[in-house]
Amino acid sequence: MSTTLYDKIFQAHIVDEIGDDALLYIDRHLIHEVTSPQAFDGLTQKGREVRRPDLTFATMDHSISTRSLAIDACGPANKLQLQTLADNCEANGIQLFPVGHQKQGIVHVMGPELGLIKPGMTVVCGDSHTATHGAFGALAFGIGTSQVEHVFATQTLKQSKGKCMQVKVSGARPLGVTAKDIILAIIGKIGHAGATGCVIEYCGDTIEGLSMEERMTVCNMSIEAGAKAGLIAPDQTTFDYLEGREYAPKGADWDAAVAYWKTLKSDADAKFDIVVELAAKDIAPQVTWGTNPGQVIGVNQPIPAPEDFSDPIDRDSAVKALKYMDIQAGQKLADLTVNHVFIGSCTNGRIEDMRAAAAIAKQGKVAQNVTAIVVPGSVAVKAQAEAEQLDKIFLDAGFEWRLPGCSMCLGMNDDILSQGDRCASTSNRNFEGRQGRGARTHLVSPAMAAAAALAGRFADTRDFIAND
């Protein structure tokens, strides 16, 4: 039988079959303060317990300050939410990494760096960017709060099998083209609902050549293409990353685990429902111009006109996006001034992202009209960056160096933009109002964000690399 990696992981977790649905066992459940309180509440109301607190890990990330470790730093509502998480974890015996803990971080940064995510696992979290963990060859997807409650009580979820889309990226990556540019180019090609109902498996030599951090950036934004999940088959890069991490198997268990993990790949003749191919050489550093992640262009392309789109819905979306973003068709990105830069998030808040941004930051100073903040994805990322003195580079260049958290990716704390602000952001969503009511978000890679901070407008990161 020729099967895909998705088929294999799905099959291996079927507890029971119910009509067209399967009841899947869930190996890892990650939780945070925003989407869990109502689920705990539901359990309590029904007198139910968390079945496997040992498989469940919690962190504080969305509602916390990036300037202070005090849990009341962002006001009483945020404090109540954080305290509720702490109380619920305590009452149910769940390991929590609260603000100030050395293992705290954005849920999708913290999990992998502790070795909590292993190939072949099923991983869920009440958060759509759970897709990140697919970088390890784990079937990882975001769920709603009712499902969080279902997993608490049963450690299972009902799931129907989705379609499988293969996205193959081939060839050597041009200089200055990052993992963020690859995933933005993919979304630009298939559209931001292009993979609805699908799990994407990313493959091809370009993908195989990516580090784990880069693979996480790619899988992270699977949801921005509408996919349920993204997957990359585990290989030596995956095993090398995991070996020695706190929750990775040790000794004879490690050998048994690796032997199993090596079987986790799509068969050579596996059939995919949809196949999409890209050549790495055609990808340039990307910038979103609109209000959904599929509205994206290479840094040197002109902003498109509504007439450029044949589909009437796309045309309509373009009209609305141009208006909201206050830009004109045909305009050059290099002519757009930015007044905010955000480097961080579960897409680009890892150590390699900090390094890539610092490599540009050290070449100049943040432009006068720009406020630029760098928010590491976890305490561990922050510590590593400081050990490499990257914080000094950022501070010397005029960036702010903050405490870890989701921060301006969604602005549930005080890191929020104002009406009319234009931000070069390494996060994953450029929806209207995402970073603040009336604010305009352009998604870019960490290097592109740093370049925009120095130039005060969008700039081609390749010009900086040439100078490096």
Partner 1 sequence: MSNQSSPANAGISVHIGHVAPLNQANVDTDQIIPKQFLTSVTKSGYGKHLFHDWRYLDLHEQEPNPDFVLNKPEHEGASILLTRENFGCGSSREHAPWSLDDYGFKVVIATSFADIFYGNCINNSLLPVQLESAQIDALFEAVAQDPACQVVVDLPQQQVRFNDQVIGFDIAPHHKNNLIKGLDAIGQTLELDAKIKAFEDQQPAWQY
Contact set for ligand SF4, span 391-410 (CB under 6 A): 406, 409-410
DSSP 55: G
Stretch 188-207: interaction string toward partner 1, x if CB under 8 A: ----xx--xx----------
Q: Judged by CB under 8 A, does residue 21 bind partner 1?
A: yes
From the list 171, 249, 306, 456, which residue makes contact with partner 1 (rule: CB under 8 A)?
A: 249
Q: Between 110 and 151, whose beta carbon lies closer to ligand SF4?
A: 110
Residue 281 interacting partner from ligand SF4, partner 1, none (CB closer than 5 to 8 Å by kind)? none
Q: Judged by CB under 8 A, does residue 431 bind partner 1?
A: yes
Q: Judged by CB under 8 A, does residue 7 bind partner 1?
A: no
Rounded-to-integer distance, Cα 344 and Cα 426, Å: 6
Restricted to residues 90-119, the positions that interact with ligand SF4 (CB under 6 A) are 106-108
Rounded-to-integer distance, Cα 442 and Cα 286, Å: 10
Rounded-to-integer distance, Cα 52 and Cα 345, Å: 29
Question: Closest separation between CB of residue 74 and ligand SF4, Å?
Answer: 14
The footprint of partner 1 on this chain (CB under 8 A) covers a number of residues equal to: 76
Restricted to residues 397-416, the positions that interact with partner 1 (CB under 8 A) are 410-412
Q: Judged by CB under 6 A, does residue 345 bind ligand SF4?
A: yes
Restricted to residues 32-51, the positions that interact with partner 1 (CB under 8 A) are 34-35, 37-38, 41-42, 45-46, 48, 51
Rounded-to-integer distance, Cα 182 and Cα 220, Å: 12
406 among annotated binding-site residues? yes
Residue 339 interacting partner from partner 1, ligand SF4, none (CB closer than 5 to 8 Å by kind)? none
Judge residue 277's burial from the number of C-beta atoms within 10 Å of its C-beta, 0-12 exposed, 13-18 middle, 19 or more buried.
exposed
Restricted to residues 123-182, the positions that interact with ligand SF4 (CB under 6 A) are 127, 129
Q: Between 204 and 249, whose beta carbon lies closer to partner 1?
A: 249
The footprint of ligand SF4 on this chain (CB under 6 A) covers a number of residues equal to: 14
Restricted to residues 328-387, the positions that interact with partner 1 (CB under 8 A) are none
Q: Judged by CB under 6 A, does residue 457 bind ligand SF4?
A: no
Rounded-to-integer distance, Cα 312 and Cα 295, Å: 15
Q: Between 62 and 180, whose beta carbon lies closer to ligand SF4?
A: 62
164 among annotated binding-site residues? no
Strand runs labelled E in 45-190: 56-59, 95-97, 122-125, 139-142, 156-160, 163-170
Residue 80 interacting partner from ligand SF4, partner 1, none (CB closer than 5 to 8 Å by kind)? partner 1
From the list 154, 300, 337, 371, which residue makes contact with partner 1 (rule: CB under 8 A)?
A: 154
Rounded-to-integer distance, Cα 307 and Cα 305, Å: 5
In degrees and rounded to multiples of 5, residue 160 shows phi and psi of -100, 150
Question: Closest separation between CB of residue 121 and ligand SF4, Å?
Answer: 19
Q: Judged by CB under 8 A, does residue 63 bind partner 1?
A: yes
Neighbours of 170 (CB within 10 A): 15
CB 439 within 8 A of CB 325: no
Question: Which residue intervals of 204-284 are DSSP H helices?
Answer: 205-208, 212-220, 236-242, 251-261
CA dihedral (145, 149, 155, 160) in degrees, to 10, reads: -50
Instruction: Tokens for 17, please give them.
Output: 């079959």
Question: Closest separation between CB of residue 409 and ligand SF4, Å?
Answer: 3
The alpha carbon of residue 99 and the mean position of all alpha carbons in its chain are separated, in whole angstroms, by 20
Q: Between 397 and 409, whose beta carbon lies closer to ligand SF4?
A: 409
Cβ density class 75-84: b for 16+ within 10 Å, e for less = eeebbebbeb
From the list 8, 29, 180, 228, which residue makes contact with partner 1 (rule: CB under 8 A)?
A: 228
From the list 270, 299, 341, 346, which residue makes contact with ligand SF4 (rule: CB under 6 A)?
A: 346
**Contact residues for 191 (Cβ-Cβ < 8 A; gap 6+):** 225, 226, 294, 314
Which residue's entry shows tokens 């190939």? 119
Interacting residue ranges for ligand SF4, rule: CB under 6 A: 61-62, 106-108, 127, 129, 345-346, 406, 409-410, 427-428
